[in-house]
Amino acid sequence: MYSNSGMSVSFHRPAPVFTTEERPLSTKKARGTPRFAAPPRAPVKSCPVTRIFSRINDCDGPQPVSFREDSDTSFIVQSSVYSAKKPELYFEQCYTIEEKLGAGSFGEVYRVRSKEDGSLYACKKTLLRFRGEGDRQRRMKEVQKHEKLAKHNNCVQFYRAWEERQHLYLLTELCRTSLADVAEDRHDLPESIVWEYLVDLLQAVRHLHNHKLVHMDIKPENIFIGFDGLCKLGDFGLVIDLSQGSDHEAVEGDPKYLAPELMNLEFGPPADLFSLGMTILELATDLDLPKHGDAWQKLRQGELPPAAKGVSKELQKLLLGLLHPDPKKRLTADLALSLPAIKRVLIRKGIKDALRKSVMRVKTMMTQTWFFIVFCLFFLVKPITYLWKKTPEDNLNTSKVNSSGINITTDFSDGEDLNDHSLAQPLCDLSSSSSEGSQFLSKPCVNSTPISYGKNYNFMMASPTSRSSPHSSSYDDGSPVLFRKPAPTFPK
């Protein structure tokens, strides 16, 4: 290139300079990490066009899903709430959705209440429809892994599963909250609580590994706190069954908790221990774990970050054993549970759990005793209250005996017409005695004798009051006169 003076001038483009911007590790509280983030989209392993797949089971009615011969698959037929004639789903007819607990890459979880027994459950529904028979079979394997895993106190219990309109539903135990919510609410968890969570999770991981299962997605979002206070491992959607050999399709979990050997496609139980170590490191230090970059690489080189200096030496040693970069030298669940520090926590936690169960048992007994006392007092106080509320007229409605020895009843039957004078003719002449007439003004008289009606409406009793009316007969001696009322006749 030439300038105006005719001299050649050369221009050199600046060479690009690549700077490595290292993002320092910090706590979630200091950085203000958002609490909830949108889940990543599920990996699409096949074309979603349904016309290239073989037709799958697309029946409208629900179908139970189970791989055990002794499982109960008649819960849909025996349901007293579900009706196949209604257009609503079985899920909508038999369960009431109370709250959406969360959503992931493959499904949504709801807190539901059963309309049959009134109990609360957690129901997981697959997010996408089955993309073919192969995709349906992969989804069904999650049910098979749930059923293979025996019941354990530190694992979320599985109840039943069914498919309907190309969606899979799994009904599991409902927990109080997740460990992710606990970590977000409390950025300074006491180390004693972290040790208890670690002991519970080690027992859950050992239970899985003893059944030849690898979780592959251990993280705070998949760890729950039950209503019994125990830490429970859940969400077995990515579990690998090692009993089937190497012929399995593994899917990596969250990259923040990913073991380094998984980059070389080495799947096995040590990957769960590494993910568990990263989870405990996050809880103990409130560390905002990176998803990639140099900080991600440093956490997988066998060194703890500076934030881990605030924890005890025993916990640091245990974290180094769980986060060892070599999976062969990494601690197993059995070795970790055999450490002296873990044994002390187990003893302390066992005493604490026993005391909690005793307190719950005493509360239950006190509640039952209280209800029994209230029940007894109700039947004892009820007759006393009935007698206390009786009116003075009711107290006078008892039978009395006058000086002549004749039983006098002054009770009136309910609804008796006191103005019925058909049986009391003739009426007394009240004009002859103004004092006596005013005394019996409101009552009919027979021979100047006031009449009162008793509960036995077949009789009318005359009051034994002395009479001085001129219409009184010669045999009137002040004795009460009883007149029998004719019995009522009914048409045949």
User: Which residue type occupies 345?
Assistant: V
Residues linked to residue 100 through DSSP beta bridges, in sequence order: 110
Instruction: For residue 17, count other CB atoms closer than 10 A to its CB.
Output: 5
Question: How far, in Å, CA of 185 to CA of 180, rounded?
Answer: 9
The annotation status of 329 as a binding-site residue, yes or no, is no
Question: How far, in Å, CA of 339 to CA of 276, rounded?
Answer: 16
Q: Map 189-251 to HEC letters.
A: CCHHHHHHHHHHHHHHHHHHHHCCEECCCCCHHHEEECCCCCEEECCCCCCEEHHHCCCCCCC
Please state, in angstroms and as integers, the Cα–Cα distance from residue 461 to each residue in 18, 449, 451, 455, 467, following that order: 121, 10, 6, 11, 15
State whether residue 114 is helix, strand or coil: strand
Strand 107-114 with 158-164, pairing: unpaired
Check residue 19 and report its DSSP letter: -
Dihedral sign computed on CA atoms, order 165, 171, 174, 180: negative
Among candidate residues 60, 117, 185, 217, the one labeled active-site is 217
420 is catalytic: no
Nearest-10 crossing angle of helices 313-322, 191-210: 30
Cα–Cα nearest to 91, from 58, 57, 126, 66: 126
Dihedral of CA atoms 166, 222, 171, 85 in degrees, nearest 10, equals: -40
Count of positions (residues) in the chain: 492
Structure tokens at 49: 């066009």
Residue ranges of the binding site: 124
Cite the active site residues. Answer: 217
Residue ranges of the binding site for ATP: 124
